[in-house]
Amino acid sequence: MPYLYVVGAIVLRLLPHPWNLSPLGAMFLFSGATFRSKRDSLLVPMAALLVSDFAASRFLHGATVAWFSPWKCAAFLLIALIGWALRDRITLGGVLGASMTGAVAFFLITNFGVWASWTMYPPTWSGLVACYTAGLPFFRETLVGDLGYSALLFGSYEWLRRRRPALAAAR
C-alpha cells in the first residue's frame, strides 16, 4: 500500500501548485518510514521524482525548466534517510520533527547547490548568504508543504491501518 502513496504524491505534484508547495518531501519521508525494503524506500520515490521531473519539464513547462539537479536528488534522498529513523515508531511528534528537519535539510542543500553550481551569486561568503536569503520565501512554502502533506500521508495511512488491520500486517 505505501507504493500507492508515491503514485498519489506524484499525481498531486503534477497538478498546479505554488513553487515548492508540493508533496515531494513528504513522499520521501513517508517512503523512508513505511516501505519494508530500505532499498525500495530510496529507489521508488527517486524513480518517481525523476520521471515526474522530466514530464513536468517537458509537458508542463515547455522544457524551459531544467529537470535534473543532483543537489535536489541528494536532498530528497537525505529526507528518505531521515524517514528511516521513524521506522516502527511513527508518532505525531516524530513525523513533525522529521518533516521540519527534512525541510531545513532540503533548503540548506539545494540553496548551497544553487550557490556552488550557478553564476547567479558570487563564490563568496556574502554570495552564499545572499543565496540563502533569496531562498527564504521558497523555504516557507517547502515547510508548509512538507508539514501538510506529511500530515495527510502519515495520518491517512495510520487511519487506514486501524480501519483495516490486514493492511497493517501487509506492511
Task: Report the distance separating Cα 16 and Cα 12, nearest Å.
Answer: 8
Q: Tell me what the pLDDT averaged over the chain comes to.
A: 88
pLDDT of residue 150: 96
pLDDT of residue 90: 93
pTM comes to: 0.88
Q: What does DSSP assign to residue 61? A: S
Backbone angles phi, psi at 22, to 5 degrees: -135, 170
pLDDT of residue 64: 58
pLDDT band at 147 (very low <50, low <70, confident <90, very high): very high
